Amino acid sequence: MKIVVLKFGGTSVGTISRIKKVSKIILSFKKKKYKVIVVTSAMSGMTNNLIKKSLKISKSFDPIEYDVLVSSGEQISCALISGQLKSLGHKSRSFLGWQVPIITDNNHTNAKIDFVNVRNIKKILSKGIIPIVAGFQGITKNGEVSTLGRGASDYTAITLAKYFNAEKCVIFTDVDGVMTTDPRNYKKAKKIKTISYEEMLEMSSLGSKVMQSNSVQEARLNRTDVLVKSSFKESEGTLITKRKKIKNHKIITGISSTKNDAKITLVGVKDKPGVAAAIFKPLSKNNINVDMVVQNISADKKETDVTFTIKNENTIKTVNLIKNNKEFKYDKILIDKNVSKLSIIGVGMITTPGVTYRMFQALSKNKINILVISTSEIKISVLIKQSNLKKGIEALHKEFNLDN
Ligand code: ASP
Ligand code: MG
């Protein structure tokens, strides 16, 4: 049995005419002899609206009721798709999370899927009926409705692909696929045809918003091929797959960037064991995500400077936590609120020497100063002034031949 999971995002099911379009896509897969499992998001804007309603009641709205509330968007869209297919004379049935059932842990608003019972859907598939599953939701062992975190209908789709051994999971969205860089920053951005899980993970966590990064990680663990493509126009999309399947690697696959970062430097920190832990402990306790960290080597070994980056919106909170921290001493605190992280990503850099040099050279030719550097096996990130971001993206896009 050739199974495919098709997931439709919020804009793809945003209106009734789009739901009609989606039904045609579903039927085109049925024609190709696939057993189709559909996973749907809520109509665009719906989940946000429901969340707003909960906030009008309380900033700490009860999580169990929150999940009942916000999961209702998907209930509407799965019924509409199934209803449309039936009105065209096809067999279909909507499934809410509890009807599958998709069993999750008790972590309301951000639950993880523990288990999917495949029996009901298998039965339906064998009768030629198309199941339309509400994404983003499940049920706890206590029988309460749960949700899986924002954007998590991707997670539902990837998980169903795993449990049903699907040939692939197709994510239909409002963009053509994964781009070499955000087209809003650089018009010559090109669609990436194939990308490895590892690269996609880096791209998502470094700023590319096409797919929820947890879901990419799930796909990687299960070795599920994921095709991301537009539901609005016929185009090939981007295949996210194993490295081995990718031929003709470019050295660099994509360029990501962040906005709204802030850089904090603590000058003259007393250099002794435990200082770094003392600085970062209160930040972590307050859920402030620290990204890049560098510590200078001090010549006299008595004092050092520590620089790190955080999201701009956390600046005041962070500075207060540092000023009130009695566990360490420093001379001065410097704050720069207008920085961006610019990253190049590519498995090709593992086997190609000189990539770091080419990146730095290209930036320097464009008079872009590098403030902080960090690297991993398949990415190099630099922190630069936000005002240099577009120029930097263009320079690197050209340097690594991504324009064509
Ligand atoms: N409707 C949910 C959200 O907006 C889940 C999803 O779209 O993937 O977060
Ligand atoms: Mg979404």
With vertex at residue 370, the alpha carbon angle to CA 182 and CA 208, rounded to the nearest 5 degrees, is 20
Integer Cα distance of 252 and 402 in angstroms: 8
Residue 25 and residue 6 in contact, taking contact as beta carbons nearer than 8 Å: yes
Ligand 1 atom, smallest distance to 150 CA: 9
Q: Could you say which residues of the chain have pLDDT below 50?
A: none
Separation of CA 271 and ligand 2 centre (Å): 46
What's the full length of the chain, in residues? 404
> Residue 23: enclosing H or E segment and its boundaries?
helix 16-31
- Which residue out of 110, 150, 172 has the highest number of ligand 1 atoms within 8 Å of its CB and is therefore the one to mutate? 150
Full 3-state SS string of 41-78: CCCCCHHHHHHHHHHHHCCCCCHHHHHHHHCHHHHHHH
- Within 6 A (CB) of ligand 1 lie 10, 41-42, 47, 73, 135-136, 150-153
Integer Cα distance of 303 and 275 in angstroms: 11
- Residue 250, pLDDT score: 84
Integer Cα distance of 334 and 224 in angstroms: 46
The encoded tokens of residue 382 equal 């630099």
Separation of CA 127 and ligand 1 centre (Å): 30
- Residue 301, pLDDT score: 67
- Quick one: 3-174 is in which CATH superfamily? Acetylglutamate kinase-like (3.40.1160.10)
The CATH number assigned to the domain with range 257-399 reads 3.30.2130.10
Start-end of CATH 3.40.1160.10 domains in the chain: 3-174
Separation of CA 331 and ligand 2 centre (Å): 46
Residue 48 and residue 55 in contact, taking contact as beta carbons nearer than 8 Å: no
Ligand 1 atom, smallest distance to 48 CA: 4
**Whose C-alpha lies nearest to ligand 1, atom 2?**
151
The pLDDT tens digits for 224-261 are 999 999 999 888 999 999 998 887 778 999 999 998 89
Start-end of CATH 3.30.2130.10 domains in the chain: 257-399
- Which residue out of 41, 43, 137 has the highest number of ligand 1 atoms within 8 Å of its CB and is therefore the one to mutate? 41
Provide the residue type at 59 as one letter: K
- Residue 302, pLDDT score: 82
Integer Cα distance of 292 and 341 in angstroms: 9
Is the four-CA dihedral 280, 281, 282, 284 of positive or negative sign? positive
The encoded tokens of residue 183 equal 């087209």
